[in-house]
Amino acid sequence: MKDYEHPFFRPLWRRIAVVAVCLIWSVIEFASGTPFWGVIALGFAGYAVWQFFYLYKPVEETKPPAEPKE
C-alpha cells in the first residue's frame, strides 16, 4: 500500500484539506519573509496534488454478494 492509498485519504475533502493547508502554509511563509520555507511548502503542495489527484485511484467498495431470494 502506498501512502496516498491509505483509507484516511478516501474522502475527497481530506485530500483537498491537505493541499489547502500546504498552500496556506506557503503563503504564510512568503508573507513573513522566509521564501526558502515558502518554496518548500509549495513543493509539499505540489507533491500532494500529484499524489492525491493525479495518481489517486478510488478504491471500489466491495459489496457483499446478494443473498438468493427463496
User: pLDDT digits over 11-51, tens only?
Assistant: 889 989 999 999 999 999 999 999 999 999 999 999 999 98
Q: Percentages helix, strand, coil for the chain, rounded to the nearest 5?
A: 65, 0, 35
State pTM to two decimals: 0.74
* Cβ within 8 Å of residue 15, ≥6 positions away: 9, 48, 52, 53, 56
Output 22 or 54, whichever has higher pLDDT.
22
pLDDT confidence of residue 36? 96
CA angle 6, 52, 40 (to 5 degrees): 110
